[in-house]
């Protein structure tokens, strides 16, 4: 949090998306992109303004079309015991929406922090994460809890959910030197609820077959935690490449993501994979520092938006 507002972090999943929904380990790290929120008291009505997304909503009035955004903000106000207070909520997103970068969780965390600060509600970091998790359920159905956890704590973690989020295993990960990451955006919205749903349907039809894929991904995530600790980016890259193959086995990639992965590898990436829900959305590549620019420019030449960041 800073004086100018309250922040929720965006994230990338390095290893373990989808299998994390089934109780396996995943590694996630924050990205420098975030969502900021400001709340000011005002008489009577509650308004939500997100100019960058073209959102202007009066929350205290019944809605014509049901939106998960409306439902999330209403839930936050209720849980903080502020349902009868009027306020103006301004949200400034610096994370592209529907790209698998955790924008919805980051928004929930930023609004929770800003509302709590404005009305002097005492709330712990754990409670912020749990409330953001309940907001994620509205948007995503059966989230694992990794997005809200990252959005709240904003540091690299090894994550495994328990049946109750309160008992999730969250281990801090540190790495001896920053690891350069190129993020490629496919330009196609990811609907995490849809890909999570298609994986669930496949799993229901053949649980044994899919459980074994999830367990293989689990082993990659655990090996990845060791690789991160040692700063072994060649090993981490190989684990990411294998994970991407298994995500293909789950059929959650897309033509654009495959093209981006191919471009990254041709230009010297040590590892490249989709990140987040898939079906569109974003991919990540790790590389030696001097390779990140060539990878990013090759992606741009092919018509994709990219940015360079690092895990630290
Ligand atoms: O697409 P995102 O940023 O919501 O990432 C989702 C990660 C999944 O493992 C696919 C779902 C989850 O809830 O963990």
Distance 120 CA to ligand 1 centre (A): 32
pLDDT string in tens for the chain (312-residue length): 444 679 999 999 999 999 999 999 999 999 988 999 999 999 989 999 999 999 999 987 766 666 889 999 999 999 999 999 999 999 999 998 888 899 999 999 999 999 999 999 999 999 999 999 999 998 777 888 999 999 999 999 999 998 766 578 889 998 999 999 999 999 999 878 899 999 999 999 999 999 999 999 999 999 999 999 999 999 999 999 999 999 999 999 999 999 999 999 999 999 999 999 999 999 999 999 999 999 999 999 999 999 999 998
Cβ-contact 117, 141 below 8 angstroms:
no
Atom 13 of ligand 1, residue of closest alpha carbon? 143
Judgement on whether residues 83 and 141 belong to the same structural domain of the protein? yes
Judgement on whether residues 278 and 298 belong to the same structural domain of the protein? yes
Asked whether residue 42 is assigned to any structural domain, the reply reads yes
Judgement on whether residues 255 and 222 belong to the same structural domain of the protein? yes
Which is catalytic among the residues 47, 84, 147, 218?
A: 147
Judgement on whether residues 119 and 164 belong to the same structural domain of the protein? yes
Q: Supply the pTM of this predicted model.
A: 0.91
Asked whether residue 221 is assigned to any structural domain, the reply reads yes
Judgement on whether residues 166 and 51 belong to the same structural domain of the protein? yes
Judgement on whether residues 126 and 225 belong to the same structural domain of the protein? no
Atom of ligand 1 nearest to the CA of 190: 1
Domain count along the chain = 2
- Ligand 1 pocket, residue 240 CB under 6 Å: no
Distance 22 CA to ligand 1 centre (A): 12
Structure tokens at 249: 């086995």
Asked whether residue 1 is assigned to any structural domain, the reply reads no
Judgement on whether residues 152 and 199 belong to the same structural domain of the protein? no
With residue 274 as reference, give the H or E element that holds it: strand 271-275
Judgement on whether residues 278 and 187 belong to the same structural domain of the protein? yes
Asked whether residue 196 is assigned to any structural domain, the reply reads yes
Report how far residue 87's alpha carbon sits from residue 60's, in angstroms, rounded to the nearest whole number.
Answer: 10
What CATH number corresponds to the domain at position 216? Answer: 3.30.70.890
Distance 88 CA to ligand 1 centre (A): 30
- Ligand 1 pocket, residue 18 CB under 6 Å: yes
- Residue 294 sits in which domain range? 179-311
- C-alpha separations of 183 from 87, 119, 189, 221, 273 in Å: 36, 37, 15, 19, 10
**Residue where a domain terminates, one of 144, 172, 200:** 172
In the residue annotation, 47 being an active-site residue is answered as no
Judgement on whether residues 139 and 208 belong to the same structural domain of the protein? no
């Amino acid at each position: 949090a800073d004086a100018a507002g309250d922040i929720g972090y965006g994230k990338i999943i390095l290893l373990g998306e989808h299998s994390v929904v089934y109780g396996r380990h995943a590694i996630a790290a924050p990205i420098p992109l975030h969502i900021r929120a400001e709340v000011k008291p005002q008489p009577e009505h509650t308004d939500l303004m997100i100019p960058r997304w073209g959102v202007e909503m009066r929350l205290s009035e019944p809605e014509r079309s049901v939106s998960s955004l409306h439902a999330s903000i209403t839930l936050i106000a209720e849980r903080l015991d502020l349902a009868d207070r009027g306020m103006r909520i301004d949200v400034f997103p610096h994370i592209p929406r529907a790209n698998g970068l955790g924008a919805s969780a980051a928004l929930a965390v930023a609004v929770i922090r800003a509302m709590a600060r404005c009305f002097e509600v005492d709330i712990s970091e754990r409670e912020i994460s749990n409330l953001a998790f309940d907001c994620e359920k509205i948007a995503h159905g059966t989230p694992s809890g990794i997005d809200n956890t990252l959005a709240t704590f904003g540091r690299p973690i090894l994550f495994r959910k328990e049946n109750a989020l309160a008992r999730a295993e969250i281990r801090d990960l540190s790495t001896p030197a920053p690891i350069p990451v190129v993020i490629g955006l496919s330009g196609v919205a990811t609907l995490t609820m849809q890909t999570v749903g298609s994986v669930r349907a496949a799993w229901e039809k053949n649980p044994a077959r899919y459980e074994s894929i999830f367990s293989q991904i689990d082993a990659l995530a655990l090996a990845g935690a060791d690789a991160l600790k040692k700063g072994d980016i060649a090993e981490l890259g190989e684990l990411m490449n294998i994970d991407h193959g298994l995500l293909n086995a789950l059929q959650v990639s897309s033509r654009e993501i495959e093209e981006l992965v191919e471009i990254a590898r041709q230009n010297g990436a040590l590892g490249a994979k989709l990140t987040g829900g898939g079906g569109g959305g974003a991919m990540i590549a790790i590389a030696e520092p001097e390779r990140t620019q060539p990878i990013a420019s090759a992606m741009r030449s092919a018509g994709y938006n990219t940015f360079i960041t690092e895990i630290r």
